[in-house]
Structure 1
Amino acid sequence: MADALAGAVPPPFTLDTGTAISLGIAFSLMPLAQGLAAAFLPATTPRKYYWLFLWHAYDFLTHFIIEGSFLYHCFFSYIELAVTEDTRLSRGGSKIPVLFDRPDRQYGALASSGPMARLWAEYAKADSRWGGADLMVISVELVTVLLDGPGAVYICYLISKIANVKDAALKGQYQSRLWFVAIVVAILELVGGWYTFAPEWLSGNHSLAGDDPVYLWLYLVFFNTLCKCSVVVP
């Protein structure tokens, strides 16, 4: 599955029905974030707070809906494999660690036919690690989904309070909390991005499909940069 795809040449980009649906799901989160901003922020909200709210709303929607579905399939979607002891050995002769220490199972999106699994199967054409249950990726996503996601929700909550409250002292309290949490979330986003891609850069990009311009610039660069916009918006 995903391990077998690492280093393999992915199929060229094709805009079929499954791909269109997957991209539609991914692109639908920004209009949802704009709808949340319109619902919770008054028209007089300063632009810096509007953009902060918008990007963090997009951020938590991405973490909960998109990345949350990745974790779900990592933990609950699998196929049975016929595995011998030799197949678990690395080049150094030690056992290759696998999720739940179950070498007889291949976990991940490629083991499912659900709609969100189809989205991750599409993204796995650009980065094959996301089709299976890569332990480094799972570790990073647990942090982003369980910490960054709620942190981004709290940021949106604080911005809505700042935009709607009239008491200056109370507004100051919300502002101090906002900038502290925003800095923490931004640091977690940067660290998560580093630990996601640094292993590939250091090992020669065996899992990344950088030759196809769509996979490189849309899947890898655009979508990953979009999630990091909250780092520079403040």
Structure 2
Amino acid sequence: MSAPPTSFTALLQDPTTVTSLASTVAILLAALALSRRVLDPVSTPPRLRALFVWHAFDALIHFILEGGFVYHCLFSSAPVAALKQRQAGEAYYWPDPENFLGSGLGPGVVAHGSQAAVDESPLAKLWMVYAKADRRWGGVDLTVLSLEMLTVVFAGSMACLACYDIARKSPRANLVMIILATAEIYGGYMTFMPEWLTGNVNLDTSNFMYKWVFLIFFNGLWVVVPLYAIYVAVDDIYDAFKARATALGEKKAK
């Protein structure tokens, strides 16, 4: 297999890279379409509409893309010799942790993850594109897998609940958004802090696409938008407390 493209233009000419970016745009458009269908265009404030779209997008990303990553880590495997032969000259091969899933097999026998299913699964191909920027997503990194399992089940469900509560105009949406945003910011910290402490040995920042699009932009979304969600939720809670204090003051005055 030839070496991966390194220039920004070459990356955009790579069909799998284009498909990866297009799939994200498609998920965002699906979230926008859902918001148009279920939200009242008159009574829904713009910031809640934006947060509905975000949480719908968030849920779809967790369930579809990250769900596919978890599936391949748990159920897709291939002999290491075959992987090395197929990916000769590339730096994406990631060995299994010793005794992964209780197999008793040491590193170098079989390997799980997207790297093992790249010829059969479109989702695995997409993750192998991202693995060009962060090698850990090509195979099984125990920290990443543990976080992603929690992300798919907990964060995906909480994002759906946030959408449900926003659509119903339930004040519970504020609590749900704060819990989810805190969890996702913490998840991002736990994903990248091990890399920062070891000099980013698994990250490739050699070109614009890898550094600014895959690593900084996409991961930065799950920091900036959750912080905004916390701001909106706390602002609404503060207004509720202020209204209650005003009502109590008026009641005492009577």
TM-score (norm 2): 0.75
Contact 1:56 1:230 in 2 (8 A): no
1:93 match: none
1:50 match: 49
Contact 1:41 1:160 in 2 (8 A): yes
Matches of 2:145 and 2:72, distance apart in 1: 11
* Counterpart code for 2:47: K
Q: Give 1:10 shift.
A: 6.4
Moved more, 99-108 or 49-58: 99-108
* Counterpart code for 1:116: L
2:239 match: none
Pairing partner for 2:111 from 106, 113, 122:
106
Sequence identity of aligned pairs in percent? 40
How many aligned residue pairs are there? 201
Matches of 1:187 and 1:97, distance apart in 2: 32
How big is each residue's C-alpha offset from its partner over 1:30-61, in whole Å with a ceiling of 9 and x where there is no partner?
11110111111011111121011011111111
2:30 match: 32
2:251 match: none
Which has the greater radius of gyration? 2
Matches of 1:217 and 1:41, distance apart in 2: 33
Contact 2:205 2:211 in 1 (8 A): yes
Counterpart check, 1:155 vs 2:162: yes
Counterpart check, 1:194 vs 2:189: yes
Matches of 2:139 and 2:20, distance apart in 1: 17
Pairing partner for 2:226 from 206, 209, 230:
230
TM-score (norm 1): 0.81
Where 2:78 maps in the other structure, the secondary structure is strand
- Gaps spanning 5+ residues in structure 1: where? 1-8, 83-95, 163-173
Matches of 2:99 and 2:160, distance apart in 1: 32
* Counterpart code for 2:100: L
Q: Give 1:100 shift.
A: 1.4
How big is each residue's C-alpha offset from its partner over 1:59-115, in whole Å with a ceiling of 9 and x where there is no partner?
111101111110011111111236xxxxxxxxxxxxx64521433320010111211
Matches of 1:230 and 1:58, distance apart in 2: 13
Counterpart check, 1:215 vs 2:215: no
Where 1:106 maps in the other structure, the secondary structure is strand
Contact 1:129 1:137 in 2 (8 A): yes
2:128 match: 121
1:3 match: none
How big is each residue's C-alpha offset from its partner over 1:118-175, in whole Å with a ceiling of 9 and x where there is no partner?
100000000000000111100110111111110000000001101xxxxxxxxxxx20
Higher relative contact order (CA 8 A, sep 6+): 1
Where 2:111 maps in the other structure, the secondary structure is strand
Residues 98, 210 of structure 1: alpha-carbon distance in 2 compared, 3 angstrom cutoff = farther
* Counterpart code for 1:117: A
1:23 match: 21
Residues 136, 106 of structure 1: alpha-carbon distance in 2 compared, 3 angstrom cutoff = same
- Gaps spanning 5+ residues in structure 2: where? 82-96, 233-254
Matches of 2:51 and 2:176, distance apart in 1: 12
Moved more, 49-58 or 151-160: 49-58
Contact 1:127 1:207 in 2 (8 A): yes
